[in-house]
Amino acid sequence: MSYFLTTQSGFSAVPLDCLQEIFQYLENDMKSLYRCMLVNRTWCRINIALLWRRPFEYSGPELTGKYSELIRTYVTCLHKKSKTDVQSAGYDILDQRPLFHYHKYLKELDCDKLGKAIEEWEIRNCYTDYHDEQKNILHTALLKLLLSYCEGLWKLRLGRYCDKYNFPCATRFPYIKCNLTNLRKLEVLGDLDCLEEEGLNNFCTFLRNLSNISNNLEYIDIDTTEDKKSLSGQYLQKLIKSQKNLSFFRYNQECSDIRKTEEFVEALSHNASTLKNIEFSNLTFNIQCLSPLKKFNNLECMQFVYCHEKDISNETEEIIEQTSQLKVKKLIFHKGMLTSVTLEILRLANISVRELTVDNVIPDLFKHIYEHCPNITYLATRISQKNVDSLEYLSASKIEHLILKTLDNDTNLITKDFSRIGKNLSLYLNHLSLDLNISAEEFSCLLKECRSPLESLCLKFDIKKDSDLENKDGYLKAVMEFAKENDSLKEFRFSLNNKTNDYSLKNKKVEDIKAEDIFSKDILEEAKLYIPSILRETKEHFAYINLNSEALL
């Protein structure tokens, strides 16, 4: 129940719980929180708790020396026995009482940053020549303090990126079950193969126990190298299966084999109804891996990043029976080499998928979209001679937003191909973006064949040499002629591949270049009579999408 603060003047002030909620909005503004902390004792107690929720994030590596100050503070918070153990290991630490129990406020613990902070503190205090056994005593004492005597973690990041490290037997820490029950976000990152055998066993035991403690995780991010005994994979899969509210899952493991991919996809299927976002990175896939995907019925986005396909020439390629359907709104295939797998996922997703990005050339992609995914309204893909023949299927689609890009340095498309692109654009198309190594004449041919009610058009210029700029007005003239016949066009955006040696542009950054710098004044003024907006494009449509920002925390 809230109660009212009383100022020194005697009149009632803001309720305590209202103050706490107000200060929540300042939790990323360190300077403001420090200033508020100095107002009075009540404000100090509230803001100390906010300042020490995630201190390793606020005192990042860019702030040299701040990490070691955190360790200096946490050392004063150690319990008497832990202090004695650390002192017995040779560390000269002062036996002083802290002003606050800073460790109790911790909500987000990053083991990698903790390790770096300890190393920085040791360097500043000349403990670099200590043996591993001595350093492990200090590390264990601090990890025990933060895991056992905080008042409940929200986020835990396990693992380290270094040549060699240890993980203590954290399952024996007191109050560990209580403090991890409400864990919402788990990251397992780093080089597991750099753990010594005892440390790896402790790590796996911790993961096994975690599957019995933390069953309300909303976010799991696995980004590791293959560990020596593949033990972590087994316990991570068990942990995944034990969840009730898992919304986001990311899995990146270099050197992983097809069997491991299948096991993780199967483990994920136990969370089929709650998962919203999935990302697979650097994994090997084949069609046989995809069967559990049929169970997923609530996905917002599934992303494949730098994944590749296993050669199945010596295996029996079985098409998955579609007794149930994968439901996903957005599919992204970023880089990598997935061909049969891409087409099979589209077949499974069927009418559910609305947005598709394929940063690769897939033969028969347009035909597959026409036959299996009639509800796609957003498509970003690459085009070449391998798939230009199936362009006719685009005309029957309901695509409203289309992004076409050629492979890097691909100049095989000819004028006839560009005319076919324009002729086969969807009659529903409102937004078109092109990065096709296209000349002004070819661009004009494309637009002359276009019957789409375009509202916006984006073209990427390639200005590697000054002669490209001499013909730049030809692109704007082509757009202007299209706009004269189609009053639907409201916007033309342009973007640049490279800087030019043109004198007027050489001192400008690409992001600072405007339409006035590219097109001649007379042509630009005439074009603006028909095109209300002519701007530089700022988006990179094929950039990697960080689903991390979309996940719940």
Torsion angle, alpha carbons of 284, 286, 291, 292, to 10? 0
Q: Identify the residue whose tokens are 């909005």.
A: 25
Asked if residue 419 has pLDDT above 60, the reply is: yes
Report pLDDT for 12.
Answer: 46
Report pLDDT for 551.
Answer: 39
In 124-181 the beta strands, taken as DSSP E runs, fall at 155-158
Q: Are residues 213 and 177 in contact, defined by beta-carbon separation less than 8 angstroms?
A: yes
Asked if residue 151 has pLDDT above 60, the reply is: yes
Confidence of residue 158 (pLDDT cuts 50, 70, 90): very high
Q: Which of 263-277, 288-302, 444-458, 460-474 has the lowest mean pLDDT?
A: 460-474
Task: Give φ, ψ of 5 to 5 degrees.
Answer: -75, 155
Per residue in 384-410, pLDDT (tens digit) is 888 887 888 988 899 999 999 987 666
Report pLDDT for 181.
Answer: 94
Asked if residue 137 has pLDDT above 80, the reply is: yes
Report pLDDT for 307.
Answer: 92
The token duo for 341 is 């797998």
* Pairing mode of beta strands 491-496, 308-309: unpaired
Q: Region 242-256: what's the mean pLDDT?
A: 89
Report pLDDT for 46.
Answer: 73
Higher pLDDT, 519 or 62: 519
Find the DSSP H helices in 395-491: 415-423, 440-449, 466-470, 472-485
Q: Region 500-513: what's the mean pLDDT?
A: 59
Asked if residue 464 has pLDDT above 60, the reply is: no
Asked if residue 2 has pLDDT above 60, the reply is: no
For the chain, the average pLDDT equals 83
Report pLDDT for 320.
Answer: 54
Report pLDDT for 433.
Answer: 93
Q: Are residues 67 and 130 in contact, defined by beta-carbon separation less than 8 angstroms?
A: no
Asked if residue 9 has pLDDT above 60, the reply is: no
Asked if residue 503 has pLDDT above 50, the reply is: no
Asked if residue 225 has pLDDT above 90, the reply is: no
Taking alpha carbons only, the member of 173, 172, 199 closest to residue 103 is 173
Percent of the chain having pLDDT more than 90?
A: 46
Report pLDDT for 7.
Answer: 47
- Decide: pTM greater than 0.95: no
Asked if residue 337 has pLDDT above 80, the reply is: yes
Calculate ∠ Cα 503-506-510, nearest 5°: 135
